[in-house]
Structure 1
Amino acid sequence: MSTTTLASHNVPLSLPDGLSQEQLLVFKPFNNWIATLTNSLRLQADAAHPFHADPYALRSVTIQSYDRFGGGRVGFVKLAANVSNSAGESLPAIAFLRGPSVAMLVMLIPDDAPPGSDERYVVLTVQPRIAAGSLGFVELPAGMVDDEGSFKGVAAKEIEEELGVTIHEDELTCLSELAAPEEDAGGEGLAKAMFPSAGGCDEHITIFSHERRIPRDQLQEWSGRLTGLRSHGEKITLKVVPMKDAWKAGARDAKCLAALALWQGLQQEKKL
């Protein structure tokens, strides 16, 4: 472990062996995290802020561990930050940084369903999620956003890879943007997305939806289909369920529950 100064913020930065400050600063999730935190801390200058009388400040950052992806680029980072006020009161500040993701609510409507019918089916994936200790975790199709990818582009790509369906970016509806509350110009600048574990992880998931009509006999063909990129270690089975039952089938998946809630709420407010 070595200690230097994070030049952009003039605070001590401790780094594990094998990771330089230059390599860390190429890792976009770290830059996004510290920029958003800095902006949030700046808001304490407002007399109406609950922490105005004794504001918190970022005192130091310690990178505890990191992982690399293909090509040697930094992929995941775990850090501990010291965020405290003059009274020595600290805020919980251990974070796992992995960056943004996308999730897709894909709804299938049988082509013989009459206009105005509420008969819809949701496509879920069943795949190993070792972090959850599961070899058959049921969830919405999802994928990570890399430094170069657009959110809509990644969503369309993941649908093609996981579901075997080609969808143009323009055919996707961003539920997260439609549902996001209007933010003041002086707001924190948080992403218009769902944060599944804000107490310990920076991951935020932008949720998209897409619906299409297909022949009814294709519904059975889709369910149980094997998909996914084997070169990426993906072994995915598709699961098609009636939309009215999707909240039960995907009850362990925060993405699924959030997507269904967003879609229903936007439908009720006639924003879809």
Structure 2
Amino acid sequence: MATQANEPSLTLSKFFNDEKIYTPIPIYLPQALTAEQLTNFPAFKNWLTRLLKNFALQDEATHRFHARPFRLHRIDVESVVWFGPKPGFVKLQAKVQNYEDDEAKGLSSGEMAKKGMLWIPGAVFLRGGSVGVLNQPKSSTPTPTPTPSSREEEEEEEEETYTLLTIQPRIPSGSLAFPEIPAGMLDGSHNLGGKAAQEIREETGLVIQESEMIDMSALATSKVTLDPSSSSYSPGKLSSTLHEDIQNAMYPSVGACDESISLFLCQKRMARAKLDELRNKQTGLREEGETITVKVIPFSELWREGGRDGKALAALGLYYSLKERDLLPAWPVKPSERENV
């Protein structure tokens, strides 16, 4: 871990990105990181803005923490992973508590608890948002002169539904052949559908259009709010009280990481020959350390083949829940004329 300075590298006061700061926030940086690099890092900027915005809701009398509001008292940036000249990942400790340090002097933890003096664990790994894509191609082999029997065979063949996995080294898991659905970081982009289409192209070689992307995460969560004034359950209804600002996405490790993953579905009819071209295709951006092999599997086997990938399992859960409620659009009636592999 980089050496921290005795004095803060910068102190935020009054406002950050138009959000109110109630208590000055000293920030301590490792020597290699400048204040400008940190505050311009999209993941940090988005995280701190959202945190301050949601903390401000504590001003409302109906907020469950109104009597003793939590404040952000300090940030210690412990380490940085660089993507070239810019921060890529940042590990920090945020000091969050509902009391001032002077109030706690001479008190035991039990005495503090009786007074309602609480703190919240603030270890945060910042990496920003991501997208994941559940591909669902159906194969289609046209018959030059259909006969009754060949039409029946074609209809049966068109019902063969597949999905695409990327097989690639994932060092944190200790694997050189980890199976997962295509995914990628947003890099500050808010164009989720376009980024999802880009990741499909880069990781599988399949060219699709942004309009073919179905945001399953948004379909599932856009009408469900995080209401800090009440824990009551109202399915499908917007709360009329307090609404926290939060992404309409899946948070895979919310106890330690800011990452949110928007899960998309791409349903596509493909000529059998085009689908076969994807099998075992070698893809990935070598300049970014990607070495990917495409694996085509029956969609019915994704729960098994992709069972180690949290994105795949979450996407499957969303897919079947949305399908059961008839919230997914109809399948394309024929292979796309823009189809390209």
Tell me the equivalent position of 2:249. Answer: 193
Cα distance in structure 1, aligned partners of 2:188 and 2:263? 18
Tell me the equivalent position of 2:33. Answer: 19
Deviations 1:140-164 (A, max 9, x none): 0011111246222211111111111
Q: Are 1:100 and 2:139 matched, yes or no?
A: no
Tell me the equivalent position of 1:74. Answer: 87
2:134 alignment partner AA: L
2:72 aligned to which of 54, 58, 66: 58
Deviations 1:228-252 (A, max 9, x none): 1222211111111211110111111
2:258 aligned to which of 177, 192, 202: 202
* Change over 3 Å in CA distance of 1:69–1:205 after alignment to 2: same
1:198 alignment partner AA: V
Cα offset for 1:218? Answer: 4.6
The two structures, once aligned, show a CA RMSD in angstroms of: 2.0
Greater alpha carbon shift after TM alignment, 40-49 vs 240-249? 40-49
Cα offset for 1:6? Answer: 2.1
Q: Are 1:231 and 2:287 matched, yes or no?
A: yes
Which has more radius of gyration?
2
Say if 2:134 and 2:163, in contact at 8 Å, map to a contact too. Answer: yes
2:119 aligned to which of 90, 115, 118: 90
Cα distance in structure 2, aligned partners of 1:60 and 1:238? 45
Tell me the equivalent position of 2:218. Answer: 177
2:321 alignment partner AA: G
Cα offset for 1:22? Answer: 1.5
Instruction: List, as ranges, runs of 4+ consecutive aligned residues in structure 1 with deviation greater than 3 Å.
Output: 115-119, 183-186, 216-221
SS in 2 for 1:258: helix
Q: Are 1:242 and 2:298 matched, yes or no?
A: yes
Tell me the equivalent position of 1:166. Answer: 207
Say if 2:139 and 2:158, in contact at 8 Å, map to a contact too. Answer: no
2:33 alignment partner AA: L
Cα distance in structure 1, aligned partners of 2:211 and 2:311? 22
* Change over 3 Å in CA distance of 1:32–1:154 after alignment to 2: same
1:31 aligned to which of 33, 36, 45: 45
SS in 1 for 2:253: coil
TM-score (norm 2): 0.75
Query: Unpaired segments of 5 or more residues in structure 1?
Result: none
Cα offset for 1:269? Answer: 1.0
Tell me the equivalent position of 1:121. Answer: 162
Cα distance in structure 2, aligned partners of 1:78 and 1:36? 18
SS in 1 for 2:196: helix
Greater alpha carbon shift after TM alignment, 79-88 vs 252-261? 79-88
Cα distance in structure 1, aligned partners of 2:198 and 2:158? 29
Cα distance in structure 2, aligned partners of 1:199 and 1:270? 33
Cα distance in structure 1, aligned partners of 2:211 and 2:222? 23
Question: How many matched pairs?
Answer: 271
Deviations 1:47-66 (A, max 9, x none): 33332232211111111111
Tell me the equivalent position of 1:157. Answer: 198
Query: Unpaired segments of 5 or more residues in structure 2?
Result: 100-115, 142-153, 226-238, 329-341
Cα distance in structure 2, aligned partners of 1:63 and 1:270? 46
1:145 aligned to which of 144, 165, 186: 186
Cα distance in structure 2, aligned partners of 1:160 and 1:78? 31
1:5 aligned to which of 5, 11, 18: 11
Structure with greater proportional strand content: 1
1:6 alignment partner AA: L
Cα offset for 1:98? Answer: 0.5
Greater alpha carbon shift after TM alignment, 96-105 vs 144-153? 144-153
1:40 aligned to which of 44, 54, 75: 54
Cα distance in structure 2, aligned partners of 1:207 and 1:39? 25
Tell me the equivalent position of 2:236. Answer: none
2:82 alignment partner AA: R
Cα distance in structure 1, aligned partners of 2:276 and 2:34? 52
1:31 alignment partner AA: K
Cα offset for 1:117? Answer: 7.1
SS in 2 for 1:126: strand
Cα distance in structure 2, aligned partners of 1:47 and 1:81? 26
* Change over 3 Å in CA distance of 1:30–1:161 after alignment to 2: same
Cα distance in structure 2, aligned partners of 1:14 and 1:207? 35
SS in 1 for 2:92: strand
